Amino acid sequence: MSLLKHSKLARRLLAGASFGLAAGLVSVSGAKADQSAYVPVTDAQLQNAGSDAGWLMFNRDYTGRDYAPFTQITPDNISKLTVAWTSGKIDIPDGFEDTPIVNGDYMFVTTPKDHVIAYNAVTGAKLWEYDYKVPPAAYKTLCCDTNNRGVALYGNLVILGTLDNHVVALDAATGAVKWDVSIMEPGVGYSISEAPLVVNGKVIIGSGGGEYGARGFLVGLDANTGAQVWKTYTTALENEPGGDTWPAGMAKTGGGAPWMTGTYDPETKTLFWGAGNPGPWLATMRPGKNLYTDSLLALDPDTGKMKWYYQYTANDTWDYDGVNTPVLQDITYEGKTYKAIVEANRNGYFYALDRTNGKLIYAKTFTHDISMKGVVDGQVVGNDEVRPALDKTIFTCPSFLGGKNWWPMAVDPEANMAYVPTLHACMTMTGVPVSYAAGLPFLGETFKMMPDPSSPGVLGSFQAINLSTGKMVWEHKSADPWDGGALATKGGVVFTGLPDGHLYAYDAKTGKQVWVSPDLGSGIIATPISYQVNGTQYVAVWSGWGGVWPIWSGKLGAPLAKNPRGGHLYVFKLGS
């Protein structure tokens, strides 16, 4: 990213700040006429979220599977799926990446620029809306659009993170602010775009900003007051365990942003959270493994203390963050049963790890991979031949957007498969001089997205992977990037969207396409959800093109440059 491109992005984001919802908290007359009283969300309800009728957290439940146990919608009757209600167009020209959250007949959504809206989940009646005022300084240090990926629920609260590094709790029934705390000042490289996770009464959320050299950290806040209980950094200083994996002083600006929502195992009381890329990107400036960047961290959710870690990509120089959702799923591999974590990593490998100790079970490529050489002693190792250096240009795959970026895959425990939205793109990279300055990009590399010569005409695919082997079972290819999340259901249907503005449904076992939505007004980069109210199953998804692809894909993304902008929330059910 050049400084010129960085400044152009900041100006575009600032220029777009006038779009959006009405300012402040808005009361909608008559919206609550048929609305039930809000039922507070308890710790027990969160621990059993997988069987709840709603959709209580970002990945539905603590396992991170994005799997709904509903059977009303099947491959046989999905042709009857129709629009139940829609939000209408929300005129913000940035990426809509929110996962709607549902408790009873209350649905809570976020939009770019940190707006929150509450709807009746059955009728679509707007209950309230809240417009967080993002200061201009926050827009200057955003990597990848003004997105907000959603809220967390606890008690009577709706909790969100903001682009200027606040965590805000709203009254679920009214939208009134209950508490508002800052965890870092804006404009120095940090931002928050992820949905929080509530565990044992603590709001857990991580910082973004790895491209700015911002030292990554996670915090645990008291859910009732916002008071900070613990803070854990994701890069190790010289006097800390792992500090010898950095050159002297560099861990302070070493990135490692834990910018995506993690998962939790109540049985072992272990929090799992991914840490992002090191800074600067140019690895020749920071020899060593650079712990704990590009790693999965196993933490105590009550104290933030690390139990173990697994590093996916040591001394990363390709921007292969380790933040993709660590999904909890028991598997059988080569005749042995494991309590596992499975993840489709940005470095192009699909991993299965033992979640009790962090040991590798297997790692298999799921997209064309030149950057990695293979598995050695339980680790995937990098290919030194395609490491950029000062004035050295390399070509490699996958691109810096990874084999899969942040958008969640889904795991169906009954089908024993993961459904992975996959990217097929490569890049060139060249090392350039760089020095750290707070609030400015800290990369040391220029880059250019390139087509993948191994899959001409294909930029994305949606593939099913057998969890017992790590091998693909079926696949759908696309000329567009596949950067919408996935939803699996017990009814045997898997949902995912594309930039062409359609939501697609596939038979979970065979991969047969069984349904496609009408045009939803804009491209889909969000994750669909499913919930039930009064025995009726619904499927909901945002359309709203934006995010990383149009900002960073260059000429490779030109065919989508004129994609319509603006968000639409669509909710579907069977019948009219």
Give the Å distances, CA to CA, from 416 to 57, 67, 68, 513.
23, 12, 15, 19
pLDDT confidence of residue 10: 40
The position carrying tokens 């990363």 is: 316
- Is the four-CA dihedral 25, 186, 252, 436 of positive or negative sign? positive
**Integer Cα distance of 426 and 459 in angstroms:** 10
The position carrying tokens 């700015």 is: 212
pLDDT confidence of residue 528: 98
The position carrying tokens 């959320």 is: 205
pLDDT confidence of residue 576: 73
pLDDT confidence of residue 8: 40
For residue 85, give every residue at least 6 positions away whose Cβ sits within 8 Å of its Cβ, in sequence order, or none.
123, 124, 571
The answer to whether the peptide bond before residue 292 is cis (omega within 30 degrees of 0) is: yes
User: Cα angle at 475 between 471 and 477, to 5 degrees?
Assistant: 135
Structure tokens at 550: 């149009």
pLDDT confidence of residue 33: 55
Residue 23, classed as helix, strand or coil, is coil
pTM: 0.94
pLDDT confidence of residue 511: 98
- First-to-last alpha carbon distance for the chain, in angstroms, is 49
Which domains, ranges and CATH numbers included, belong to the chain? 3-574 (2.140.10.10)
Q: Split the chain (576 residues) into runs of 10 and give each run's mean pLDDT.
A: 36 37 35 81 98 98 98 98 97 97 98 98 98 96 94 98 98 98 96 98 97 97 98 97 97 98 98 98 98 98 98 98 98 98 98 98 98 97 97 97 98 97 98 96 96 97 98 98 98 98 98 98 98 98 97 95 97 93
Structure tokens at 419: 């459904």
Rg (CA), the chain: 22
* Residues identified as active-site: 319
Residue 556, classed as helix, strand or coil, is helix
